[in-house]
Amino acid sequence: MAEINRAVKGTNDVLPSESHKLQFVEGKMLEVAGLYGYNEIRVPVFEHTEVFLRSVGDTTDVVQKEMYTFDDKGGRSITLRPELTAGVVRSAIEKGLVNGALPVKVCYIGGCYRYEKPQAGRLREFHQFGVECIGAASPNADAEVISLARQVLMSVGIEKISLEINSIGCPECRKDYHKALKEYFTANTDRLCDTCLERLERNPMRILDCKSPVCSEIAAGAPVVTDYLCEECREHFEGVKANLEAMGISYTVNPHIVRGLDYYTRTVFEFISGDIGAQSTVCGGGRYDGLISQMGGPKTASLGFAMGIERLMLVLENQKIALPEAAKTDLYIAPLGDKAQLTASSLCAKLRGDGFRVETDICGRGLKAQMKFADKTGAKFTMVIGDNEIASSGAELKNMRTGEAFPVKFDSLSDELYKAINKSAFDDLAEAIL
Q: What is the pLDDT of residues 32-64, one digit of tens each?
A: 999 999 999 999 999 999 999 888 876 677 887
320-335 average pLDDT score: 94
The one-letter amino acid at 54 = R
Looking at the fold, whether 279 and 362 belong to one and the same domain comes out as no
Segment 227-266, tens digit of pLDDT: 999 999 999 999 999 999 999 999 999 988 877 667 889 9
In a domain, 184, yes or no: no
**pLDDT above 90: residue 178:** no
Looking at the fold, whether 357 and 249 belong to one and the same domain comes out as no
In a domain, 272, yes or no: yes
In a domain, 324, yes or no: no
* 100-109, 175-184, 263-272, range with the lowest pLDDT: 175-184
Looking at the fold, whether 106 and 254 belong to one and the same domain comes out as yes
Looking at the fold, whether 40 and 147 belong to one and the same domain comes out as yes
Looking at the fold, whether 149 and 24 belong to one and the same domain comes out as yes
Distance of CA 423 to the CA centre of its chain: 37
In a domain, 166, yes or no: yes
The domain that holds 355 is classified in CATH as 3.40.50.800
Q: Is the peptide bond before 223 cis (omega within 30 degrees of 0)?
A: no
Q: What per-residue confidence (pLDDT) applies to 430?
A: 55
Q: What per-residue confidence (pLDDT) applies to 395?
A: 97
CA-CA distance, 307 to 154, in Å (whole number)? 13
Q: Where among 318, 351, 374 does a domain terminate?
A: 318
Looking at the fold, whether 341 and 277 belong to one and the same domain comes out as no
In a domain, 206, yes or no: no
Looking at the fold, whether 307 and 370 belong to one and the same domain comes out as no
Looking at the fold, whether 403 and 254 belong to one and the same domain comes out as no
In a domain, 269, yes or no: yes
Looking at the fold, whether 94 and 129 belong to one and the same domain comes out as yes
**pLDDT above 70: residue 426:** no
Q: Which of 342, 424, 353 is nearest to 382 (CA)?
A: 424
In a domain, 293, yes or no: yes
Q: How many domains does the chain contain in total?
A: 2
Domain limits for position 361: 331-422
- pTM value? 0.89
Neighbours of 364 (CB within 10 A): 8
Looking at the fold, whether 310 and 385 belong to one and the same domain comes out as no
CA-CA distance, 201 to 189, in Å (whole number)? 12
In a domain, 366, yes or no: yes
Looking at the fold, whether 154 and 102 belong to one and the same domain comes out as yes
Q: Where among 265, 291, 318 does a domain terminate?
A: 318
Percentage of the chain lying above the pLDDT 70 cut = 96
Q: Find residue 127's DSSP bridge partners.
A: 111
- Cβ atoms of 329 and 357 within 8 Å: the answer is yes
* 160-174, 182-196, 380-394, range with the lowest pLDDT: 182-196
Distance of CA 130 to the CA centre of its chain: 7
With vertex at residue 102, the alpha carbon angle to CA 99 and CA 105, rounded to the nearest 5 degrees, is 110
Q: Where among 318, 340, 362 does a domain terminate?
A: 318
Q: Find residue 334's DSSP bridge partners.
A: 384
CA-CA distance, 174 to 145, in Å (whole number)? 24
> With bands split at pLDDT 50, 70 and 90, how would you rate the model's confidence at 375?
very high
277-305 average pLDDT score: 90
CA-CA distance, 141 to 82, in Å (whole number)? 26
The domain that holds 62 is classified in CATH as 3.30.930.10
> With bands split at pLDDT 50, 70 and 90, how would you rate the model's confidence at 4?
confident
Q: What per-residue confidence (pLDDT) applies to 278?
A: 57
Q: What per-residue confidence (pLDDT) applies to 45?
A: 97
Looking at the fold, whether 300 and 417 belong to one and the same domain comes out as no
Radius of gyration of the chain (CA): 28
CA-CA distance, 149 to 151, in Å (whole number)? 5
